[in-house]
Amino acid sequence: MREITPRNNKGSIIIRFTFSGKEYCFSPIPGSKYSDPLALAKAEEIANRIRQDCITGYFDSTLTKYKPNALQGRTKEAAIRDAEEAKEIVAARLSVNAVDLLQLFDDFTQFKSKTLASNSMIDYNRIQNKLKKCPHKLVRDAVYVMQWLVSDHEGISTSSLEKQWKLINACCKWGVSTSRLQSNPFEGLRNLIPTTKHTDTQDDINPFTDNERKQIIQAFYASDRYKYYAPLVEFLFGTGCRPEEALALQWKHVKEGKITFCQRLTASGVIEPGTKTQQRRSITVNIGIQSVLSEIKTDSVLPSDYLFTAKKGGFIDWHNFSNRAWKAVLNSLPNIEYRNPYQMRHTAIKAMVKSGSDSTIVARWVGNSPNMISKKYLGDVSDIVMPDN
């Protein structure tokens, strides 16, 4: 919803806005001047109240509650009559969208489960667990629900919050379409999610040194809690593939020392064909990666089994890995500057370039363009010793 703000109308103050297809215009403080800072501040307060009421479903279309002097001069009988009418209005308003949000989302999840793969239901199950903890239970309390989700959120990135809002918003749209709700109060509440303020994005190229790479891999293997992820970490550091490509690898994609990347695991837990930049690419792995694959392959694996899975089965949650395992291990290495796990890819590519491999070949290995390799990875030569004259 657009911001509602006081406007200058030939020196006086008015508030003009549109809600539910109807335009409203009135003077919040009759006789006041736009140049009067106190009057303007009061008008801004009234405008903010209107906007919040529009979002939460408490908007008074008569505008009475937004006019400070609107109720002066009434008779006793009129006041009693208005009070009774107000009770009826409040009762009717409280009944709007007084629907249990968790129950609605449970029903929505059941509806969606008919068309989504089981792995895609992970996000739905997470939101169900969140809503069980949330102290605000009704759909009409949408603003408070969103504020609680933000306060309960851990970590730097807010992408998971955006995903929660998106699915809850979709749930309430479904609720409206099935006549369970009169309106969707979550519509437009995306702006309650703060913007992520973090400079270390996966596009920033800040590779680890070779020594740092070795320390991180060793630390994972030495970790009692996160040793399980060590082969994945070593694989990513060695191949330079994207995380979503590694997590989608099945044993049928590994043949005679070659690996074919032809699918990816999306953030919502769905396997999609193709990689980010191409339909498929194959690489012949070195002895180090072959050793990693030999260690994790058992006699009972099937061609359809995935190489890297969660401890309890299913897909590895990359967000969970990044915010728990990766951070814990990196924090145990105080001499290494923290970088996000996507830097494993950048580290591998930089190592390939430094080894003297042609940028065109490196680009094919990792699924980038030669121009990108040249622009991003050949540009930094600060750690390459100049040849003797």
Q: Is 224 exposed, middle or buried (0-12, 13-18, 19+ CB in 10 A)?
A: exposed
- What integer is the mean pLDDT of 5-25? 89
Report the distance separating Cα 291 and Cα 271, nearest Å: 26
HSE on the CB side for 13, CA within 13 Å? 24
Q: What is the structure's pLDDT at 235? A: 96
- What integer is the mean pLDDT of 305-310? 94
Report the distance separating Cα 171 and Cα 169, nearest Å: 5
What digits encode the pLDDT tens for the residues 209-237? 999 999 999 999 999 999 999 999 999 99
Under DSSP, the state recorded for 376 is I
HSE on the CB side for 297, CA within 13 Å? 15
Contact 118, 162 (CB under 8 A): no
What digits encode the pLDDT tens for the residues 268-290? 788 889 988 889 999 999 999 99
Report the distance separating Cα 297 and Cα 88, nearest Å: 69
14 Rama class: left (phi>0) / alpha (psi -120 to 50) / beta: beta
How large is the angle between the packed helices 343-354 and 230-239, nearest 10 degrees? Answer: 40
Query: Binning pLDDT at 50, 70 and 90, where does residue 8 land?
Result: very high
- What integer is the mean pLDDT of 130-135? 94
Percent of the chain with pLDDT over 90: 52
Report the distance separating Cα 243 and Cα 88, nearest Å: 57
Percent of the chain with pLDDT over 70: 86
Q: Is 15 exposed, middle or buried (0-12, 13-18, 19+ CB in 10 A)?
A: buried
Q: State yes or no: pLDDT of 56 exceeds 80.
A: no
- What integer is the mean pLDDT of 136-161? 86
Query: What does the mean pLDDT of the chain come to?
Result: 86
Contacts (Cβ under 8 Å, ≥6 apart) of 35: 11
Q: What is the structure's pLDDT at 232? A: 97
Report the distance separating Cα 69 and Cα 65, nearest Å: 9
Going by C-alpha positions, the residue among 98, 128, 108 that lies closest to residue 178 is 108
User: Which sign does the torsion angle of CA 84, 86, 91, 92 carry?
Assistant: positive
Torsion of CA 207, 212, 218, 223, to 10 degrees: -80
Distant-in-sequence contacts of 166-170, Cβ < 8 A, 24+ apart: 167/123, 167/124, 167/127, 168/101, 168/105, 168/127, 170/108
pTM as predicted: 0.52
What digits encode the pLDDT tens for the residues 347-368? 999 999 888 888 889 999 999 8
DSSP line for 88-100: HHHHHHHHTT--B
SS3 call for 284 = strand
Q: Tokens at residue 8, please?
A: 């200058």
